[in-house]
Homo-oligomer: A and B are copies of this chain.
Amino acid sequence: MARIVMKFGGTSVANLERIHNVARHVKREVDAGHEVAVVVSAMSGKTNELVGWVQDTPKVAGASSPFYDAREYDAVVASGEQVTSGLLAIALQSMGINARSWQGWQIPIRTDNAHGAARILDIDGSEIVRRMGEGQVAVVAGFQGLGPDNRIATLGRGGSDTSAVAIAAAVKADRCDIYTDVDGVYTTDPRIVPKARRMKKISFEEMLEMASLGAKVLQVRSVELAMVHKVRTFVRSSFEDPDAPGMGDLINPPGTLICDEEEIVEQEVVTGIAYAKDEAQISLRRVADRPGVSAAIFGPLAEAHINVDMIVQNISEDGSKTDMTFTVPSGDVEKAMQVLDQNKGTIGFDVVQNETGMCKVSVVGIGMRSHAGVAATAFKALAEKGINIRAITTSEIKISILIDGAYSELAVRTLHSAYGLDKS
């Protein structure tokens, strides 16, 4: 007997047939004698529809600003998960399974007051645990909690993953299964590299880098949370037949296990290749090389909610001037240029240049901490294909390389081969 949290995203509950399919997945685990809590997202498309209404309401009211109260946004948008939690409870009951739905405020899942992107402060899992002990499946509306002043709060996009991991931590689950429309985490995007392999295991740290670098399987926040609470998290497919052989395997179900690195006996040097397209490169030329200049540049950008990613600073020849290069999402480049222009006086630079259509390719692997020459392999492989490197940043377990976007697929394929990831 184990205690399992199962999470199903929007495409997995897109309609009544899909919800029935989810119920079959749940039934399999219940029939095996496990205690089960299920976390569900809204039907795919629903959240967008609700968000659209919220955004359009001030316009229709003729308001001069598109402002809306994030607390009301949350009340409206959280209704999507409320619907699926109730429907799944009914589907389970129809299959003879004792189940009840739980809204965030009913548990409660307490959050801070950052409505629209709230953080979970505390989950009282006691009542759910008690009822699981009596054989009742808890069907939890994901993405939502109870904020201050008795208000509904939502956790922001991908929040249902976070709900699932947080609940798994709260009820001390043996496993948190994230059911999604892919069957696991791959060494890279299989649409680009057909030889990409599904990993059996990946460490939290590696998954964090993969997730934040564009492998959109799991939200970064949920991986962070899983890492902190050491929640063993499986990424697996909701589209496989719930009763196919091995689906109910307690130790090795089909999918990718995200776990503590200690659980991964044989560390790969490089685990996977991630990429993020549509990056823009901004370069400030001949910036005064003085203390506080970075703050002068990146402070105003942060205030404008521009997500700066790679930052590279070149040492100047004489030590008095420097070049500063960084990347932002292409969509933010115009706003970033405005902000820099407005702050030209306080920053002090000669010219600012930008180029869009860049791609950031990243090599991720926990094993590179103890292996030299990992970066050199990437540089050599890219050079052999004539791919120009525009910027490089590194961390303990990651090398990120900025290249021209036209070469992104070629670069991903090249690196995937160079690190031997093509072989099964």
**Which residues of A line the B interface, CB within 8 A?**
16-17, 19-20, 23, 50, 53-54, 56-58, 60-63, 67-69, 71-76, 78-80, 82-83, 85-87, 89-91, 93-95, 100-101, 103, 105-106, 150-152
Contacts and interface: CB of A to CB of B under 8 A. Distances in A.
Given A16-B60, A60-B91, A75-B86, 4 more contacts: A61-B90, A61-B95, A62-B94, A76-B90
Contact of A69 (B19, B75, B90, B152): B90
A406 B149 CA distance: 59
6 contacts: A20-B57, A23-B61, A72-B87, A72-B90, A72-B101, A73-B90
Main secondary structure, interface of A, reads helix
Nearest to A18: B60
A24 to B, nearest CB: 9
A326 to B, nearest CB: 36
Contacts of A69: 89-90, 93, 100
A111 to B, nearest CB: 15
B89 A72 contact: yes
Nearest to A50: B83
- Which one of A62, A72, A80 has the highest number of Cβ atoms from chain B below 10 Å of its Cβ? A72
Each complex incorporates copies of this chain amounting to: 2
Contacts of A105: 105
B53 A68 contact: no
Contacts of A94: 57-58, 61-63, 67-68
A100 B70 CA distance: 11
Nearest to A78: B82
Given A61-B23, A82-B82, A93 B75 contact: no
Q: 6 shortest A-B CB distances, which residue pairs? A: A63-B94, A76-B86, A61-B94, A75-B86, A79-B79, A58-B94
A413 B115 CA distance: 58
A38 B179 CA distance: 41
B82 A75 contact: yes
B57 A87 contact: yes
A87 B53 contact: yes
A23 B57 CA distance: 11
A223 to B, nearest CB: 30
Contacts of A151: 106
Given A60-B20, A61-B20, A90-B54, A106 B150 contact: yes
- Which one of A16, A20, A80, A90 has the highest number of Cβ atoms from chain B below 10 Å of its Cβ? A90
Nearest to A43: B53
A57 to B, nearest CB: 5
A46 to B, nearest CB: 10
Nearest to A106: B150
Contact of A91 (B61, B73, B91, B152): B61
A272 to B, nearest CB: 38
Contact of A87 (B54, B74, B87, B100): B54
A345 to B, nearest CB: 37
Contacts of A83: 50, 53, 76, 79
Contacts of A57: 16, 19-20, 87, 90-91, 94
B95 A63 contact: yes
Contacts of A93: 58, 67-69, 72
Contacts of A95: 61-63
A94 B63 CA distance: 5
B72 A76 contact: no
A58 B150 contact: no
Contacts of A150: 106
A85 B106 CA distance: 20
B79 A100 contact: no
Contacts of A90: 54, 57-58, 61, 68-69, 72-73, 76
A342 B82 CA distance: 43
